[in-house]
Structure formats: C-alpha cells, structure tokens
Amino acid sequence: MILSGDDIHKALAEGRMIVEPVPGKDQIDTTSIDLHMGEPLWIWDPDLTRPEGEALKINLDEYDYREFSKKHQQEVSKEPSGKYILQPGRVYLGSTFEKVRFPAGSKLAGRVEGKSSFARLGLVVHMTAPMIHCGTGLGIITLEMFNHGPFAIEVTPGKTRICQLILEEVSREPEERTGRTFTQQEDAQG
C-alpha cells in the first residue's frame, strides 16, 4: 500500500521514517515527498574510461563498485552561481540533499522516482534500483541521472526538487540488514 500525504506526515511524526532535514509541509504531496538535489556531483571521467586506442571493459562478476568509482570518476565543479550544469548525453551520479532512514520496526520502505516535469526535458533522474529498503541506516539516496535532452540543465544543490520519494507499507516487519554495499551512504561513490 502506498502512503497518502496524511500518512506520510503521521509516519514522520511517529518516527516510522526519518528524513534529515525534516521536510517542509510544501514538500509532501498527496502520495510522495519531494527531495532536493545534494552534492557533490560525479561523472565518469572520459579521459580515464576511454584511453586512446582501447576500450575499458568491466567484468560485472568481479568488479568492486567503490574501488572502480574512486579510480574512474571525477567530481563536477559547480558554476560560480552555485549551480551544476547537466550536459546532454552524460551520466551523472548525484545524491539527495536529505538523508533518509526507515527503522526496521517501521514496516515502511520507499521508492525514489524522477519528476515528470524534468522527464519531459529529457532528464532521467533515477535510472534503476529505486528501492529504499526498510531497516537501512540514515543516508543519502544516490541518483543515477542521464540528460537525454538537447540542452544543458541547471540544478541547484539544496534548492532544486530533483526527485520524489514514494512510501510503501510492507506486509511484515523485516529483519534489519547490515553490511549491504550502499547502506548509510555519504556520497554517490558509496
């Protein structure tokens, strides 16, 4: 069951979910919470991932994301205005400004989704793996973004409402899981 806006307010008040900083009433819609763009923003370094004369191959059965990302990603610089520019045809790894947690006893989980107004510009805000599991630690949500549109898009950390979190009630109280790859993330590199 997807929670309504009233149920979201109630879950926050009861501590069934934790969002830091606490969302304003204007961030909570009829069935979701708007989350803001965080920082930093990362791209796959084209000079490192496409060395002259050879293609970089990744064996998904053997690679370690954290190790790989530290070697092949670079941080995107902000404009003097404090905005990031999302260029067409690029994959970006960003994050939410807010940190989110669903305590194990809450019987809540969430899905992060893009916003239709941005999708209409060609911006995919969250490509895959939308599930935020019950029992996860307090952390940011990583956003795998791609600009399919024909123009550059400006986003402002802490201001642009980049995605929405949809809350769902699970049928039973799940066990708390630890040691997962992306639990309690501090940035998009894991």
Residues involved in catalysis: 144
Q: What is the distance between the terminal CA atoms of the chain, rounded to a whole angstrom?
A: 30
**Token duo for residue 79:** 């404009």
Which residue, among 96, 81, 104, has the nearest Cα to 158 in the 3D structure? 96
Euclidean distance between CA atoms 166 and 7, whole angstroms? 12
Cis peptide before 21 (omega within 30 of 0): yes
